[in-house]
Amino acid sequence: MKKRPLIAGNWKMYKTASEAVTLVQTLKAAAHAVSNVTIVICPPFTALSEVSRVLKDSPIHLGAQNMYCAPEGAFTGEISPMMLKDSGCRYVILGHSERRQYFKEDDILIHEKVKTALKYSIIPIVCVGETLAEREAKKHFDVVKAQFADSIGRLEKEDIPKVVIAYEPVWAIGTGKTATPDQAEQMHSYIRRLLNERYSQEVGSRIPLLYGGSVKPDNTKSLMEKPNIDGALVGGASLKAESFAQIIQEAQQTYETGNKS
């Protein structure tokens, strides 16, 4: 039996607060027709509070795109877990490849952030994934294994069930080049095996594994049909209500059809 899909939109550095409100109003209306998908949107920090007000009484959850690992303090430019909670966030994306690449975040820092998020009951969506050079050198499994070990595998057994993992191959982000469903499934089943070996099969089977990288309405079904793909982390296609709503509908249909057969 497949898990209820989780579809998350990462808006990256797009949308002013007023543009975000317009987008979320349309999405909110579309979400009424959806009952079997967990929907999360992650706007920029500056739009969180206003979007949260629009989302009141809506099944759509709010998430942030980053967070610092200290509860408060002299950390100019950073955002704390309490600030995210205060802005209505239930989720936070951590360790996105753009944070790793442009802001030099490493797995040790990402692990600290994951622990802090969990301490404050914020669900971390922890990203892992290899670059094109790493895949071409056939190091993709080793790279993801090391990222997993250092950022996630150091969590205690009682914390791991609250984590969501996103596999985002860097070469597929914003490039229009999706990993094929088979390539994605291969890595997802590998991550599932890492979870099973580090924790237990029972724990491993419960953790949602999202795929991210050029997810669009027309490739959602073929990805979501794979046994270890439990959802998607969507960038570009989450910036338009129509395409994000279509992805959500595709995920719902695939889930409902899969569980009937």
Nearer to ligand 13P, 89 or 199 (CB): 89
Does 129 contact ligand 13P by CB under 6 A? no
Q: Which of 168, 185, 188, 250 is catalytic?
A: 168
- Strand ranges (DSSP E) for the chain? 6-10, 38-42, 61-64, 91-94, 123-128, 164-167, 209-212, 231-234
Residue nearest to ligand 13P (CB): 235
- Binding of ligand 13P by 236 (CB under 6 A): yes
Task: State yes or no: residue 161 binds ligand 13P (CB under 6 A).
Answer: no
Binds ligand 13P by CB under 6 A, chosen from 27, 37, 234, 251: 234
Q: Is 213 in the site for ligand 13P (CB under 6 A)?
A: yes
Burial 209-238 (b: 16+ CB within 10 A, else e): bbbbbbbbbebbebbbebebbbbbbbbbbb
Q: Is 59 in the site for ligand 13P (CB under 6 A)?
A: no
- DSSP assignment of 85-110: HHTT-SEEEES-HHHHHHS---HHHH
Catalytically annotated residue among 61, 96, 111, 188: 96
Using left for φ > 0, alpha for ψ between -120 and 50, and beta otherwise, residue 213 falls in left
Kindly tell me the burial class for residue 248, based on how many C-beta atoms sit within 10 Å of its own C-beta (0-12, 13-18, 19 or more): buried
Q: Which is nearer to ligand 13P, 95 or 204 (CB)?
A: 95
At closest approach, how far in Å is the CB of 242 from ligand 13P? Answer: 15
Contact 174, 216 (CB under 8 A): no
Out of 160, 212, 230, 248, point to the residue binding ligand 13P (CB under 6 A).
212
Q: Phi/psi at 9 (nearest 5 deg)?
A: -105, 125
SS3 73: coil
Q: By CB under 6 A, is residue 174 in contact with ligand 13P?
A: yes
Nearest CB to ligand 13P, comparing residues 64 and 234: 234
Q: Does 204 bind ligand 13P (CB under 6 A)?
A: no
Largest separation between any pair of C-alpha atoms in the chain:
55
Mark whether 111 is an active-site residue: no
173 in contact with ligand 13P (CB under 6 A): yes
Residue 64 within binding range of ligand 13P, rule CB under 6 A: no
**Nearest approach, Cβ of 57 to ligand 13P (angstroms)?**
27
- Please state the closest distance from residue 20 (CB atom) to ligand 13P, in A: 17
Active site residue 158: no
Contacts of 171 (CB under 8 A, 6+ apart): 130, 131, 132, 135, 177, 213
Residues designated catalytic: 96, 168
* Binding site residues, ligand 13P, CB under 6 A: 10, 96, 168, 173-174, 212-215, 233-237
